């Protein structure tokens, strides 16, 4: 959970940005994100509409192509928009600047999985739509929550036992919820997904403001080789760390499911970071799943985020 930062582009870079900062536009003035996306779609394919800040009256409209954003800027900046009730819009070009925190200052933040060069790591932007995200959040909100020390969780399929860091396959909780069905179907139909994901265990995590995720590798003995993570309601930065043999020894005999109490004390470590926008799907398999710790820094700038986490429990 970090709010995405969109900043003014450098001089001469405006026409290369697919993002527009639009003021006098948003839920606070009676315009839903879907209505805004529909109005701007006449200029080209809209990837998404996001809150630019907490005011509710300023948004970021993100196009697929920079030329579409420039056309919308020329046509609508300072002029009434007939598709938005005649409201006059104040627009400027904007570029995405991935957020960072002090402890990650030395780690460049990538926007695409290919930039990290970690085998088995896949990131799919806009895996679900804004409407689908809202429906998922509404469906999850009706579920039964379990309170942990810093966050709430929901378990489906099999319950994950945090004290043993394992799944009890003798305690089946029933079928997975219906709200996950279209996600699994979309995964199975996508030619870019590396393998079939026939999952039977699902965890929903609610991260309150300021709460992150400690460095860990999901328990090898509990889960099979591929795990998916769908981000809802907000973005975050995820860091990946691979420790050189002998540079860090966990308290238990196996690194499976262990957390690092003071990971920055380990000198022999490779660190990489990626920005996960809302509605993005992250897949971990192979080396990314088994050899790299993943980690979301705790930071006071974080906002509330929900994460749907699916995997296959070992019998």
Q: Are residues 183 and 292 in the same domain?
A: yes
pLDDT of 88 reads 92
The rounded distance, in Å, linking the Cα atoms of 212 and 276 is 13
pLDDT at position 258 = 40
Measured distance CA(77)–CA(24) in Å, rounded: 11
CA–CA distance, 3 with 301 (Å, rounded to integer): 8
Do residues 23 and 60 touch, judged by C-beta distance below 8 A? Answer: no
The whole-angstrom separation of Cα 274 and Cα 283 is 13
pLDDT for 189 equals 79
- Give the pLDDT score at 2: 41
Residue 83 sits in the same domain as residue 115: no
User: Does 159 lie in the same domain as 77?
Assistant: no
Res 25: pLDDT = 92
Same domain, 140 and 78: no
CATH code at position 41: 3.30.70.330
Q: Cβ–Cβ contacts within 10 Å for residue 192, how many?
A: 8
- Digit-by-digit pLDDT tens for the chain (315 residues) are 344 556 565 555 556 788 899 999 988 888 888 899 999 999 999 888 877 776 788 888 988 888 999 999 999 999 999 999 899 999 988 876 655 444 444 677 888 888 899 999 999 988 998 889 889 988 988 888 888 878 888 888 887 777 777 777 778 888 888 888 888 888 877 776 666 667 788 888 887 776 777 777 777 666 777 888 899 887 788 889 988 754 444 433 333 344 444 444 444 788 898 888 888 999 888 888 888 998 887 654 444 567 776 766 555
**What total number of domains does the chain contain?**
2
Is there a single domain that holds both residue 161 and residue 238? yes
| pLDDT attached to residue 121 | 92
148 in the same domain as 86: no
Question: Of 31, 66, 96, which one is at a domain's C-terminal end?
Answer: 96
Q: CATH no. for residue 287?
A: 2.60.120.590
79 with 208, same domain? Answer: no
* Residues 6 or more apart in contact with residue 259 via CB below 8 angstroms: 214, 215, 216
Domain boundary among 47, 64, 96: 96
Note down the domain range covering 31. Answer: 6-96
Final residue of a domain: which of 63, 96, 129?
96
pLDDT reported for residue 14? 55
Q: Are residue 123 and residue 63 in the same domain, yes or no?
A: no
**Do the domain assignments include residue 142?**
yes
In a domain, 236, yes or no: yes
Same domain, 141 and 220: yes
Q: What is the pLDDT of residue 187?
A: 80
């Amino acid at each position: 959970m970090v709010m995405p930062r969109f900043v003014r582009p450098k001089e001469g870079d405006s026409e290369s940005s697919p993002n527009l900062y639009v003021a006098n536009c948003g839920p606070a003035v009676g315009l839903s994100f879907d209505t805004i996306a529909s109005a701007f779609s006449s200029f080209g394919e809209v990837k998404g509409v996001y809150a630019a800040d907490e005011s509710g009256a300023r948004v970021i409209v993100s196009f697929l192509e920079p030329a579409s954003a420039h056309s919308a800027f020329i046509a609508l900046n300072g002029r009434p928009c007939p598709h938005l009730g005649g409201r006059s819009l104040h627009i400027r070009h904007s570029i995405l600047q991935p957020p960072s925190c002090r402890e990650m200052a030395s780690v460049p933040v990538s926007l695409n999985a290919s930039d990290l060069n970690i085998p088995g790591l896949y990131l799919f932007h806009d895996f679900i739509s804004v409407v689908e995200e809202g429906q998922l959040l509404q469906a999850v909100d009706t579920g039964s929550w379990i309170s942990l020390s810093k966050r709430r969780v929901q378990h489906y399929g099999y319950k994950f036992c945090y004290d043993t860091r394992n799944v009890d396959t003798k305690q089946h909780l029933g079928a997975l919820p219906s709200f996950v069905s279209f996600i699994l179907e979309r995964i199975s139909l996508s030619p870019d997904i590396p393998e079939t994901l026939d999952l039977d265990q699902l965890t929903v995590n609610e991260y309150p403001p300021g709460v992150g995720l400690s460095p860990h590798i999901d328990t090898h003995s509990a889960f099979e080789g591929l795990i998916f993570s769908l981000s809802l309601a907000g973005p975050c930065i995820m860091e990946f760390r691979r420790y050189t043999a002998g540079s860090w020894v966990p308290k238990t005999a196996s690194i499976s499911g262990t957390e690092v109490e003071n990971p920055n004390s380990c000198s022999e470590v490779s660190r990489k970071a990626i920005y996960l926008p809302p509605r993005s799907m992250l897949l971990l398999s192979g080396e990314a799943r088994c050899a790299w710790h993943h980690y979301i820094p705790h930071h006071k700038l974080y906002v509330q985020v929900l994460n749907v986490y699916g995997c296959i429990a070992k019998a």
